[in-house]
Every structure is written in C-alpha cells, then in structure tokens.
Structure 1
Amino acid sequence: MIQHLCLINFKHELDAATRQNVIDAYNKLPALIPGITRFECGMDMQLLEGNSHFGIVAEFENEEAFQAYSVHPAQGEVIFPVVGDLMASYTTTQFKL
C-alpha cells in the first residue's frame, strides 16, 4: 500500500460555498480513478498557526496505482477547474504502509 499526503495553501480565505466546492471536487476522484483504496480530504481546523489550508490523505493498492492517479485526466478535468485559480502552493509526500 502507498500512502499519499497532499497539503494545499490557498491564495486567500475561501467562503463556505467555495470550501464545499473544493471538498466536493476532490471527493469525486475515488469514483473516477481506479486503485484508490482510501480517500479523505478536508479543510484545516486551524488548531495550530501556520497549518496548511487543506489536506488530502489517500491510499493506493501499489505504486502503479499511485502513478496512474498522479497523471489521470480527472486531475485536470475535475480538480483544476475548481482549485487551480485558488491554489497558492502545495506539497506532497508518499510512503509505503
């Protein structure tokens, strides 16, 4: 199993409707991309100063499934139209479970 973490920072504070649109867009991915065995995402709870604004935790069957996810057209078709102009930066990491 491969664990994938992604932390996103937005350019500015998002209103409630936009935050929900971001969450809804990301939550479409498991139905569109094979090999995802677990997928969770959400806005930061602001418990610590300096946290990223949004996080994703995803698990994949194997490295091949993760690689397929990383270049899957749904990333461009579903995610970037909603998130692309909002995103200031992101960072990712992957590790074996």
Structure 2
Amino acid sequence: MLRHIVMLRWSDSTTDDQKGDAAAGFRALPDRIPQIKRLTCGPDLGLAEGGYDFAAVLDFDSAQEWREYQNHPAHRDFVAATLKPMLADRAAIQFDLG
C-alpha cells in the first residue's frame, strides 16, 4: 500500500469559495478515479505557525496505481482548473505503508 500526501499553500488572493471548491474537488476524486482506495483531506487547523493551508492524504494499492492516478484526466483537469490558479506552493511525498 502506498500513501501520497500533498500539502498546499494558497495564494493571498484565494477566496473562501475557491478553498471550498478545492476541498470538494478532492473529495469527489475517489468517485471518478478507481485507483484511489482512500482519501482524507482538510484545511490546516492553525495550531502551529508556518504550516501549509490544506492537506490531502490518498492511499493506493501500488506505485503503478498512483502513477495511473497522476495521469488520470479527472486528476489532471482538477489540478489545472481548480488548484493551479490558487496555489502559492505545493509539497508532496509518497511512501510505502508496509
């Protein structure tokens, strides 16, 4: 099992509606991309300074399924249309859950 974690920092001009669209878009991905076995996401709680604004955790059965997700049209469209216009920064990591 592979875990993919992505952390996003919004640009200063990002609106609350855009943030809501991003969260809804992430939550809709498992219905459109069967390779996603589990997805959780949400905004930072602001408990510590310097954090990112939003994170998503996605689980896949294999690295191959993660690659298929990366290239899936639904993922590519979501990133291009929803996320990229509002992003200031992005960090991601993938690791084996063992």
TM-score when normalising by structure 2: 0.90
Q: CA deviation at 1:17?
A: 2.3
Q: Deviations over 1:65-89 (max 9, x none)?
A: 1110111111222332122110011
Percent of aligned positions that are identical: 26
Which ranges of structure 2 fall in alignment gaps of 5 or more residues? none
Matches within 5 A, 1:1-97: 1-12=1-12, 14-97=14-97
Q: CA deviation at 1:18?
A: 2.2
Instruction: Write the distance in 1 (CA, Å) between the matches of 2:44 and 2:14.
Output: 12
Q: Which amino acid aligns with 2:62?
A: N
State the SS of the aligned residue for 1:84: helix
Moved over 2 A (4+): 13-18
TM-score when normalising by structure 1: 0.91
